[in-house]
């Protein structure tokens, strides 16, 4: 049954009551004229980073908003999407009382952050086809369930979830539906950013760590309604995205051709690797992937992992995850790296 969604009811009381830290850089917004800044106890000698960064990352958000067809107040940026995920817990989930729903096998940080924030993590294992198990999810949700984390394309399984299932959750769940789109740039399917207006409980998380090739600068992007973003902004550390990150991210976002070219090379390599892997006799299954990695089921993952290490190649053994017994997750590398991987796999 559909009910009206009220974000105010989801925000923790301490967050509602909070007066956020007002940083010096927030108080005075420059109109472009040259001012003398003696307000933030910085060192005055210019070296490019002697000033605090813009706490609201205005230039960066302006580009991101334009590229995504959003308004700036639909965006919050974090020190990687891991920080964004943590902010979601701290804004919306009351420790010791409330809970979140996660769908393993999936990205491990949802569980870790639930633990860090003392929020109960209710795990509902994906179906054998790696889709959300709607009956089980319905059973586990109660009035204290605040967030469902959906990773689509999912890490480590590589599939996107069915759009009908996601819509059903968005329409019926009274908490937030967080869609982690870390790998969406590699997918042939559309993402969910265009649906933010339609679903007020939708939160889409993106990152520059994957397709944009900038894992080292740490930039995560949270897209949601201004109400959700506003609540998260209240508790965000003022200078969470540093100056160097803002500059590098800005330049990279303007270089869409280069990003697209790299994505296309990675996708070509993914297809090549998928075909070759399927020919190996100890590879039992190569799961379809909408991401920049392939999950493969082998005869003995621990043994194959170790053999690859001996050939100087590190992959990820995902066997400990539910439904992932004897699986390895292989990130798509450069053509040379993938050739080396295939060569090693043929030798072992
Ligand atoms: N979400 C998913 C699904 C991921 O796989 C990862 C990184 N492996 C992240 C989020 C974290 O990304 P970031 O580097 O932006 O913190």
Per-residue pLDDT of the chain (348 residues; tens, 9 = 90+): 455 789 999 999 999 999 998 888 887 877 878 899 999 999 999 999 999 999 999 999 999 999 999 999 999 999 999 999 999 999 999 999 999 999 999 999 999 999 999 999 999 999 999 999 999 999 999 999 999 999 999 999 999 999 999 999 999 999 999 999 999 999 999 999 999 999 999 999 999 999 999 999 999 999 999 999 999 999 999 999 999 999 999 999 999 999 999 999 999 999 999 999 999 999 999 999 999 999 999 999 999 999 999 999 999 999 999 999 999 999 999 999 999 999 999 999
- Kindly report, residue by residue over 116-175, the tens digit of the pLDDT: 999 999 999 999 999 999 999 999 999 999 999 999 999 999 999 999 999 999 999 999
Length of the chain: 348
Q: How far is the CA of 181 from the centre of ligand 1 (A)?
A: 9
The residue nearest atom 8 of ligand 1, judged by CA position, is: 107
Q: Alpha-carbon distance 223 to 215, whole Å?
A: 19
Q: How far is the CA of 109 from the centre of ligand 1 (A)?
A: 8
**What pLDDT, on a 0 to 100 scale, did the predictor assign at position 3?**
56
Neighbouring CB atoms inside 10 A of 261's CB total 11
Q: How far is the CA of 81 from the centre of ligand 1 (A)?
A: 6
**What pLDDT, on a 0 to 100 scale, did the predictor assign at position 22?**
86
Q: How far is the CA of 159 from the centre of ligand 1 (A)?
A: 16
* Cα–Cα nearest to 288, from 297, 280, 279: 297
- Cis bond before residue 131 (omega within 30° of 0): no
Q: How far is the CA of 206 from the centre of ligand 1 (A)?
A: 8
Q: How far is the CA of 184 from the centre of ligand 1 (A)?
A: 12
Contact 72, 223 (CB under 8 A): no
Mutate to test the pocket of ligand 1, among 207, 249, 316 (most ligand atoms within 8 A of CB): 207
- Kindly report, residue by residue over 90-101, the tens digit of the pLDDT: 999 999 999 999
Q: How far is the CA of 85 from the centre of ligand 1 (A)?
A: 10
Mutate to test the pocket of ligand 1, among 76, 79, 82, 289 (most ligand atoms within 8 A of CB): 82
Question: Which atom of ligand 1 is the closest one to the Cα of 154?
Answer: 3
Contact 74, 223 (CB under 8 A): yes
The residue nearest atom 2 of ligand 1, judged by CA position, is: 182
Q: Alpha-carbon distance 219 to 153, whole Å?
A: 19
* Cα–Cα nearest to 121, from 152, 153, 91, 89: 89
Check if 55 has its Cβ closer than 6 Å to any atom of ligand 1.
no
Neighbouring CB atoms inside 10 A of 324's CB total 21
Helices (H) and strands (E) in the chain, counts: 12, 11
Check if 215 has its Cβ closer than 6 Å to any atom of ligand 1.
yes
* Chain position carrying tokens 């690859």: 308
Q: How far is the CA of 186 from the centre of ligand 1 (A)?
A: 14
Check if 152 has its Cβ closer than 6 Å to any atom of ligand 1.
no
Helix (H) or strand (E) holding 75: strand 75-78
């Amino acid at each position: 049954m559909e009910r009206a969604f009220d974000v105010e009811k989801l925000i923790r009381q301490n967050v509602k009551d909070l007066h956020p830290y007002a940083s010096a850089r927030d108080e005075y917004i420059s109109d472009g004229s040259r001012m003398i800044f003696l307000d933030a106890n910085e060192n005055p000698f210019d070296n490019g980073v002697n000033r605090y960064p813009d706490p609201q990352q205005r230039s960066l958000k302006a580009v991101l908003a334009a590229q995504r067809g959003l308004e700036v107040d639909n965006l919050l940026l974090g020190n990687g999407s891991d920080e964004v995920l943590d902010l979601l817990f701290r804004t919306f989930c009351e420790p010791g009382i409330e809970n979140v729903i996660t769908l393993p096998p999936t990205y491990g940080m949802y569980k870790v952050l639930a633990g860090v924030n003392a929020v109960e993590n209710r795990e509902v294992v994906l179906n054998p086809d790696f889709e959300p198990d709607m009956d089980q999810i319905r059973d586990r949700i109660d009035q204290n369930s605040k967030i469902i984390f959906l990773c689509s394309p999912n890490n480590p399984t590589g599939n996107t979830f069915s759009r009908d299932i996601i819509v059903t959750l968005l329409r019926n769940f009274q908490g937030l539906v967080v869609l982690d789109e870390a790998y969406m740039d590699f997918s042939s399917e559309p993402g969910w950013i265009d649906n933010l207006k339609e679903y007020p409980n939708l939160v889409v998380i993106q990152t520059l760590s994957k397709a944009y090739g900038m894992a080292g600068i740490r930039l995560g992007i949270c897209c949601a309604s201004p109400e959700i973003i506003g609540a998260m902004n209240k508790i965000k550390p003022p200078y969470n995205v540093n100056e160097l990150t803002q500059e590098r991210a800005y330049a990279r976002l303007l270089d869409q051709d280069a990003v697209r070219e790299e994505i296309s090379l990675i996708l070509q390599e993914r297809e090549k690797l998928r075909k070759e892997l399927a020919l190996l006799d100890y590879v039992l299954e190569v799961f379809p992937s909408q991401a920049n990695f392939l999950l493969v089921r082998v005869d003995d993952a621990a043994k194959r992992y170790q053999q690859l290490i001996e050939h100087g190649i590190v992959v990820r053994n995902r066997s400990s995850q539910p439904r992932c017994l004897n699986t390895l997750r292989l990130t798509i590398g450069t053509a040379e790296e993938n050739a080396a991987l295939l060569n090693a796999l043929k030798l072992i």
